[in-house]
Chain A
Amino acid sequence: MSLNADQVRQVAHLARLELKTEQVDRYARELSNILDMVGQLAQVDTGSAQPMAHPLDMVQRLRPDAVTEGDRREAFQAHAPKTQDGLYIVPKVIE
């Protein structure tokens, strides 16, 4: 399986990564090599094996619906790149 430069740009777009032009060809080559390596899985007869998402047979725990955390908005926003009046500031999204 190999990826061309356009496919790499499309994947990078889905992953919200801006790539520099000079990176695209290198990534195309490297990602193609990685996909070639993982491609050997296609040859494996997995029969009726159940997909394994997690090492342990466990179900999601439930906890009482109670407030356990205090309000730490200021501490959490202290390291945000840009805030104002307790809000996170981003470029305008709605005209």
Chain B
Amino acid sequence: MTLHTCSIRELAAGLRAKKYSSVELTKHFLDRIARHDKALNSFVTVCADSALQCAAAADAQLARGQGGPLTGIPLAQKDIFCTEGVKTSCGSRMLDTFIAPYDATIVTKLKHAGTVMLGKCNMDEFAMGSSNETSFYGAVKNPWDLTRVPGGSSGGSVAAVAAGLAPVATATDTGGSIRQPASLTNLTGIKPTYGRVSRYGMIAFASSLDQAGMVARTAEDCAFVLQAMAGFDPRDSTSVDQPVPDYAAQLNAPLKGLRIGLPKEHFAEGLDPGARECVMAAVAKFREAGAVIKDISLPNSPLSVPTYYVVAPAEASSNLARFDGVRYGHRADGVKTLEELYKRSRGEGFGAEVQRRIMIGTYVLSHGYYDAYYLKAQKVRRLICDDFKRAFGEVDLILGPTAQSVAFKLGDKTADPVAMYLNDIYTIAANLAGVPAMSLPGGFVQGLPVGIQLMGNYFDESRLLAAAHQYQLATDWHTQRPKEFA
């Protein structure tokens, strides 16, 4: 069976035509996880029993002629989302024994949509990383080349979907953690507008940047899943109360006349020539389909990495202060004072990358440095955001590369945090501004996938998904699969 290469639309049609049941579908993916995940390390927890129960319930619903486009579809959850009764580790020793006492809003919504949770995906610790090498549970391997990284922080999510261990996986994106790994594994992923999807029950990293989304095989699949995830949630104070459009219904919006901007800063020095060729080939496809291509500038976007590495650690240092070894999470043994309890629990519970970011954040927020670093970064953030507002006066979408190059080797960048941070040079600006952005498969360099990034205006996910869908109707990059996981 090749159920693991089908799109959600195909699987939903197969379920309704009774070619297979959700239980059979779920078993197929559970079998593949059992067979292949040793090589990939993409799951922290597999929920075989509860998945089969959910699948049986979905089958009963389908038999009654009920359910929606996601009823009976298996999926994997990034281990950053709280799942009631199921371990929720966030990739950290700190939460190695944490069984969440409630569901994140998106977990509830996806359950109500009839999806079947296969398990929880590995990730960089507290979503801090671009290679999935900072996880307490070990690095995740890229299904296209097991000696390379899958990208991060949603590395488990992308490895699972790319290898056909799940049709779709949730993910989160604070500085590129959906788009960069999607790019490195030939998947389609969307980071929605800040506030579009509830963050309730999603373990916080940098609250003014974090947003939930997903990785899948096609833009159409993303539309189905985003439909189920998006919407106002009174439990998230940054959730936006705005109606959710019917994303799938708008996928056929034509490309003709669509104005697409190419930001010159995203094609400057540092971009791999092979990746550039792929991006330019995508540009040619969009032009052929009638899109109007314009050269534009996001003049402050080269400042997005330094801005991010002030803002994100500052917010992280505050968010991660909750891990104190008292109410939940890791607690050090044999401590004599409360201060020692805090320090040793946090010293043992957090890995090196998390500690680095907590310390940078603490430093830039500390007395005497606040204005020079944090306030300054917030001002530069305004300039970066204004660049987007100006650009979206001229164009409908912005197109460029997602990453500077294809997947790098495991261990290549772990010794140099700054080199690792530069992986997100093209993706961070969208988080700082809060605009939605996607990565889509755009070709290969020496057998490794290259991603195309599309960015849209606030709450313009429909146009973004439609453009991606139209591009995927005209190309077949997204149908390519890693041979070892055929």
Contact: B362 with A14, CB < 8 Å? yes
Contact: B377 with A38, CB < 8 Å? yes
Report the nearest B residue to A16, measured CB to CB: B342
Contact: B306 with A78, CB < 8 Å? no
**In the assembled complex, which residues on chain A have CB atoms less than 8 Å from the CB atom of B324?**
16
Contact: B347 with A19, CB < 8 Å? yes
Docked complex: A17-64 residues within 8 A CB-CB of B: 17-20, 23, 27, 30-31, 33-35, 37-42, 44, 46, 49-56, 58, 60-61, 63
7 tightest Cβ-Cβ pairs between the two chains A and B: A55-B434, A18-B347, A51-B378, A81-B331, A46-B379, A18-B343, A52-B382
Contact: B303 with A53, CB < 8 Å? no
Contact: B360 with A42, CB < 8 Å? no
B448 contacts A by Cβ under 8 Å: no
A93 contacts B by Cβ under 8 Å: yes
* Alpha-carbon separation in the docked complex, A80 to B342 (Å): 14
A86 contacts B by Cβ under 8 Å: no
Contact: B326 with A54, CB < 8 Å? no
9 pairs from A and B in contact (CB 8 Å cutoff): A12-B359, A15-B317, A15-B362, A17-B350, A17-B359, A33-B417, A34-B421, A60-B237, A78-B101
Docked complex: B356-402 residues within 8 A CB-CB of A: 356, 358-364, 366, 372-373, 375-383, 385-386
Docked complex: B321-343 residues within 8 A CB-CB of A: 321, 324-331, 335-343
Q: Contacting B101 at CB < 8 Å: which of A72, A81, A82, A93?
A: A72
B240 contacts A by Cβ under 8 Å: yes
Contact: A52 with B240, CB < 8 Å? no
Q: Contacting B208 at CB < 8 Å: which of A40, A41, A54, A60?
A: A54
Report the nearest B residue to A88, measured CB to CB: B326
Query: Count of B residues near A, CB < 8 Å?
Result: 75
B319 to chain A, nearest CB (A): 12
* Alpha-carbon separation in the docked complex, A17 to B361 (Å): 13
Q: Contacting B373 at CB < 8 Å: which of A3, A17, A33, A38?
A: A38
* Alpha-carbon separation in the docked complex, A81 to B287 (Å): 60
Contact: A75 with B101, CB < 8 Å? yes
| B141-164 vs A, Cβ < 8 Å mask (1 yes, 0 no) | 000000000000000000000000
* Alpha-carbon separation in the docked complex, A87 to B352 (Å): 32
Contact: A41 with B307, CB < 8 Å? yes
Report the nearest A residue to B327, measured CB to CB: A80
B464 contacts A by Cβ under 8 Å: no
Contact: B240 with A17, CB < 8 Å? no
Report the nearest B residue to A46, measured CB to CB: B379
A8-B359, A51-B381 are known contacts; what are 7 more A-B pairs with Cβ within 8 Å? A11-B362, A17-B358, A30-B356, A33-B416, A34-B421, A49-B380, A56-B240
* Alpha-carbon separation in the docked complex, A13 to B347 (Å): 11
**In the assembled complex, which residues on chain B have CB atoms less than 8 Å from the CB atom of A76?**
101, 327
Contact: B366 with A35, CB < 8 Å? no
Contact: A38 with B347, CB < 8 Å? no
| B421-444 vs A, Cβ < 8 Å mask (1 yes, 0 no) | 100000000001111000000000
Report the nearest A residue to B324, measured CB to CB: A16
**In the assembled complex, which residues on chain A have CB atoms less than 8 Å from the CB atom of B189?**
none
**In the assembled complex, which residues on chain A have CB atoms less than 8 Å from the CB atom of B137?**
none
**In the assembled complex, which residues on chain B have CB atoms less than 8 Å from the CB atom of A17?**
343, 346-347, 350, 355, 358-359
B160 to chain A, nearest CB (A): 26
Contact: A11 with B340, CB < 8 Å? no
A35 to chain B, nearest CB (A): 7
A64 to chain B, nearest CB (A): 11
B222 contacts A by Cβ under 8 Å: no
**In the assembled complex, which residues on chain B have CB atoms less than 8 Å from the CB atom of A8?**
359
Contact: A50 with B379, CB < 8 Å? yes
A67 contacts B by Cβ under 8 Å: no
Output the residue of A12, A46, A53 with the most chain B CB within 10 A: A46
A18 to chain B, nearest CB (A): 3
Q: Contacting A14 at CB < 8 Å: which of B300, B348, B356, B366?
A: B366
**In the assembled complex, which residues on chain A have CB atoms less than 8 Å from the CB atom of B343?**
13, 16-18
Contact: B208 with A37, CB < 8 Å? no
Contact: A90 with B341, CB < 8 Å? yes
Report the nearest B residue to A48, measured CB to CB: B379
**In the assembled complex, which residues on chain B have CB atoms less than 8 Å from the CB atom of A44?**
300, 303, 376, 380, 383
Contact: A34 with B101, CB < 8 Å? no
**In the assembled complex, which residues on chain B have CB atoms less than 8 Å from the CB atom of A72?**
101
B309 contacts A by Cβ under 8 Å: yes
Contact: B336 with A30, CB < 8 Å? no
Contact: B328 with A80, CB < 8 Å? yes
**In the assembled complex, which residues on chain B have CB atoms less than 8 Å from the CB atom of A54?**
208, 238
B310 contacts A by Cβ under 8 Å: yes
Contact: B335 with A53, CB < 8 Å? no
